[in-house]
C-alpha cells in the first residue's frame, strides 16, 4: 500500500492483548468508513476488504455508468468515457468497481485516519480493562510498586495496568519500596473520561475477609462461612464465623493450632490483633461473644433503641473496653448494638460537685477533706461520725443527707 505508516498501525495493534481479530477488523472498517464519508459524502457504495494479519486493506468504490454529461452524483455515477478508461468494454447502466488508493484520500486525511485508529483502539482497550477489573471488585489482587507519591502508591500489574493504592486505604504500618509486591482488594473501578481508575485497598474489611478465603481451606471450600468482618486497620479486628457442619469448630479451624493458620493473616495486616468469634443468631449471646476477651456477667437489650447494657465484674471492664476503646467499638459494629458497660455490684453514684446548686461549695470541700466526694460515700457513713470528722454541724450534715437521698431515690 502507499502509506507505510498506516500499514504499520495495523501491525502495531494486531497483537494487542485486549483485542480479538474480529473486533480489530470492525474498528478498522469503522475508521475507514468515517474517512470515506468525510471525503466523498457517503460510504454506502464502498466495499472495504481488510486483512489485519498482513496489515493490508483494499477499498473499492461501486458506481453506475451513465452517458457523458449526465453525471449528477459523482460519488455514485461515472461517465461512460471515464468508465472505459478503466475497462474499454463498459456500457451505460453497468456497475463499475474501482479501487480507491489511500493516497487519493490526501495526506492530511491519512494522518487523521491513523490518529482516529489509535484513539479507537485505546478506547476499546480501556473499556475492556474497565470490564475486567469491574468483575474483580472485592477480590484480592497483587501488583508491583512502581511509583511512591505523598498521597498514594502507584502499582503496575503484569499487564502494565496502573492501580492506585491511596494513603487512606493503606494500613498505618505499611511501608513499601519500589519493586515490592503488594496485596489488596480491588475496591472500586471507575471510568474517568475514557481511562479506567482502579483503586486498591488494604484497610477494607473485605481484604481481611478475602484473606480468610485464601488462607483457611475450610472457608475456601465453603465449610465455614465468614458472616461479618469489622476492623480498625493495623490495630484490631473481629471476624464472626459460622459452620453448618456441627463436626467443625469454625473458630478453631480458622485460628489453627497455637494460631498457626491465622498467623500469616496477622503478619500481612501489620500484626493486627484478630478476634475470631462464633456467630450466633441470638443477639444477647452475640453481644457477649463480641466483647471477648472480657467475661460478661449479664446483658440487657433494648431492641427498639438497639442498645445493650452489659454488666461485668470490675476487673473485666478494662478488657471489654480495650485499648483506646477499640474492643467495645468493634463489638458494637459487629452486633449493631450501642453497648454501655456497667460494673457489676456497684450501685449508681453521683459526684458531690453535681449538687452545687443545693449544697454550698465550702460544705462540699469539708467532705472532700476526709475523702468523701460522692453521694453514696457520704450516705454510707454514720451522721454522728461525720460530725466528729468534719467541722460541720449535725443539722447541716442531716440536711446534706436528706438532699442526697432524695436524688438517689429519684
- Using 50, 70 and 90 to split pLDDT, how confident is the model at 3? very low
Instruction: Using alpha carbons only, give the angle 139, 141, 145 rounded to the nearest 5 degrees.
Output: 150
Q: Residue 266: enclosing H or E segment and its boundaries?
A: helix 263-268
Our separate counts of H helices and E strands in the chain read 15, 15
Question: Phi and psi for 153 in degrees, rounded to 5?
Answer: -110, 130
- pLDDT (0 to 100) of residue 5: 47
- Residues, the chain: 410
- The rounded percent of the chain whose pLDDT value lies above 90 is 39
* 73 SS3 class: coil
User: Each residue of 313-372: pLDDT tens digit?
Assistant: 878 888 888 887 899 999 999 999 998 887 776 556 678 888 888 899 999 888 887 767
- Looking at the DSSP bridge assignments, the partners of residue 340 are 309
- Using 50, 70 and 90 to split pLDDT, how confident is the model at 2? very low
Is the preceding peptide bond at 57 cis, omega within 30 degrees of 0? no
Name every residue whose Cβ is closer than 8 Å to that of residue 188 and which is 6 or more positions away in sequence: 137, 198, 199
By the 10 Å C-beta count (0-12 exposed, 13-18 middle, 19+ buried), 245 is classed as: exposed
User: Each residue of 11-31: pLDDT tens digit?
Assistant: 555 555 566 666 677 777 787
- pLDDT (0 to 100) of residue 4: 43
| Separation of alpha carbons 8 and 19, rounded Å | 17
Residue 201 and residue 207 in contact, taking contact as beta carbons nearer than 8 Å: yes
- Report, as an integer, the average pLDDT of 226-246: 94
CA torsion 187→192→195→199, rounded to 10°?
Answer: -20
- For the question of whether the overall pTM of this predicted structure is more than 0.85, the answer is no
The closest of 190, 254, 245 to 216, measured between CA atoms, is 254
Question: What DSSP state is assigned to residue 245?
Answer: -
Amino acid at each position: 500500500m502507499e502509506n507505510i505508516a498506516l500499514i504499520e498501525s495495523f501491525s502495531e495493534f494486531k497483537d494487542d492483548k485486549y483485542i480479538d481479530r474480529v473486533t480489530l477488523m470492525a474498528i478498522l472498517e469503522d475508521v475507514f468508513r468515517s474517512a470515506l464519508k468525510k471525503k466523498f459524502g457517503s460510504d454506502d457504495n464502498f466495499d472495504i476488504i481488510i486483512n489485519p494479519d498482513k496489515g493490508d486493506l483494499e477499498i473499492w468504490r461501486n458506481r453506475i455508468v451513465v452517458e457523458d454529461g449526465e453525471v449528477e452524483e459523482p460519488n455514485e455515477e461515472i461517465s461512460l468515457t471515464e468508465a472505459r478508461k478503466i475497462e474499454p468494454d463498459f456500457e451505460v447502466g453497468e456497475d463499475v468497481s474501482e479501487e480507491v488508493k489511500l493516497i487519493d484520500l490526501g495526506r492530511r486525511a491519512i494522518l487523521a485516519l491513523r490518529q482516529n485508529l489509535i484513539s479507537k483502539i485505546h478506547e476499546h482497550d480501556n473499556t475492556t480493562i474497565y470490564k475486567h477489573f469491574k468483575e474483580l471488585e472485592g477480590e484480592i489482587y497483587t501488583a508491583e510498586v512502581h511509583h511512591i507519591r505523598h498521597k498514594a502508591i502507584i502499582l503496575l500489574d503484569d499487564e502494565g495496568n496502573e492501580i492506585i493504592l491511596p494513603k487512606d486505604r493503606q494500613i498505618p504500618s505499611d511501608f513499601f519500596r519500589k519493586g515490592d509486591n503488594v496485596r489488596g482488594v480491588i475496591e472500586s473501578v471507575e471510568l474517568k473520561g475514557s481511562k479506567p481508575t482502579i483503586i486498591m485497598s488494604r484497610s477494607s474489611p473485605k481484604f481481611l475477609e478475602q484473606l480468610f478465603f485464601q488462607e483457611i481451606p475450610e472457608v475456601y471450600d465453603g465449610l465455614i462461612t465468614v458472616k461479618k468482618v469489622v476492623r480498625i486497620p493495623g490495630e484490631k479486628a473481629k471476624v464472626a464465623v459460622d459452620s453448618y457442619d456441627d463436626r467443625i469448630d469454625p473458630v478453631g479451624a480458622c485460628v489453627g493450632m497455637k494460631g498457626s493458620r491465622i498467623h500469616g493473616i496477622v503478619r500481612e495486616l501489620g500484626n493486627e490483633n484478630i478476634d475470631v468469634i462464633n456467630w450466633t443468631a441470638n443477639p444477647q449471646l452475640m453481644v457477649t461473644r463480641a466483647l471477648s476477651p472480657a467475661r460478661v456477667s449479664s446483658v440487657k437489650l433494648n431492641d427498639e433503641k438497639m442498645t445493650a447494657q452489659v454488666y461485668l465484674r470490675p476487673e473485666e471492664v478494662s478488657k471489654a473496653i480495650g485499648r483506646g476503646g477499640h474492643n467495645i467499638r468493634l463489638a458494637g459494629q459487629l452486633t449493631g448494638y450501642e453497648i454501655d458497660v456497667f460494673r457489676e455490684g456497684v450501685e449508681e453514684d453521683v459526684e458531690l460537685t453535681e449538687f452545687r446548686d443545693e449544697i454550698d461549695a465550702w460544705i462540699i470541700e469539708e467532705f472532700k477533706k476526709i475523702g468523701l466526694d460522692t453521694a453514696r460515700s457520704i450516705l454510707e457513713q454514720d451522721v454522728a461520725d461525720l460530725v466528729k470528722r468534719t467541722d460541720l454541724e449535725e443539722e447541716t450534715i442531716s440536711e446534706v443527707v436528706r438532699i442526697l437521698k432524695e436524688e438517689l431515690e429519684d
